[in-house]
Amino acid sequence: MGLTNFVYIIIFVFLMAGAPLSYSWGVDGHYMICRIAQRFLNSPASSAVLDLLPSSANGDLASVCSWADNVRAAYPWSSPLHYVDTPDNLCTYNYTRDCHDSSGNAGNCVVGALNNYSAQLLQYQSSIRTYNLTQALMFFAHFMGDIHQPLHVGFTTDEGGNSITEYWYNTKTNLHSVWDTEIIRTAMSNYYGNDRDTMADSIRTNITRDQIQLWDSYSSYYDLATESIQDACSYAYKDASQNARLNDTYFLSRKSIVETRIAQAGFRLGFLLSQIFL
């Protein structure tokens, strides 16, 4: 390779690193999901989580909930595990058809990753541990969040809304970031004194017994991906065409969808960990 090509590649890599392509609920969304989940842990799961968390977490699962995003550069193989792309406009998810990376490797999507890391965590009980279970826990907690973000199970051509430019009030962004970050940020600022603990606790204490029964009745991660693509079609893509200006009309009608997805992710993560470590 000539020196010039090398320089171009370096520049390209730099530009890509700065591209606004996002891969998961923003830091606040993941933080809230894990904060809610930790309150739903039974006592064996609570002990196992404390045992597996890195000491830097000080026993707080929420503090490492974005770790998986922070290691994307170090572990490039993990990038496709944050989402799954589905066929444009079909509004359905199908494991065989959809769960693969862009090179076609089967299982490399968020659903495959959840199967993978929950299976690894089951080794906690056994004397033979072949995986790093600290990493398995941090990946699992993060991907349970991602699969609940409607646009992490979005359409293929627009990369889950990443390539749909929008104006969030007056700020230029893209549809994926609206769902990762902007709706949460606006809600936090308008209703929760800009404090994510307050928002997370409001979401958690709002969960009803009936909802818990309903939310617990899914049979696999497949169903969670189906919920997300349905929400993506009904709420995320709807009224959000290329270059649209999204305002209170969009925000006020989507806020409770986002709060519900955060509640479901938190509750389900807590319950799953409680079953895994039982």
Ligand X SMILES: *[C@@H]1O[C@H](CO)[C@@H](O)[C@H](O)[C@H]1NC(C)=O
Stretch that binds Zn ion, among 23-31, 37-45, 96-104, 261-269 (CB under 5 A): 23-31
252 contacts 241 by C-beta, under 8 angstroms: no
- Decide if residue 113 touches ligand X (CB under 6 A): yes
Return d(Cα 74, Cα 55) in angstroms, integer. 21
Q: Among ligand X, Zn ion, none, what binds residue 24 when CB lies within 5 to 8 Å by partner kind? A: Zn ion
- Decide if residue 23 touches Zn ion (CB under 5 A): yes
- The site map against Zn ion for 74-113 (x = CB under 5 A) is --------x-------------------------------
Q: Closer to ligand X at the Cβ: 134 or 163?
A: 134
157 contacts 94 by C-beta, under 8 angstroms: no
Angle (nearest 5°) at CA 53 between 52 and 58: 140
- The site map against ligand X for 73-102 (x = CB under 6 A) is ----x---x------------x-xx-----
Q: How far is the CB of 236 from ligand X (least distance, A)?
A: 14
Return d(Cα 152, Cα 9) in angstroms, integer. 29
Residue nearest to ligand X (CB): 256
> Distance between alpha carbon 209 and the CA centroid of its chain, in Å?
24
Stretch that binds ligand X, among 28-36, 157-165, 168-176, 199-207 (CB under 6 A): 199-207
> Distance between alpha carbon 276 and the CA centroid of its chain, in Å?
20
- With tokens 């929950």, the residue in question is 118
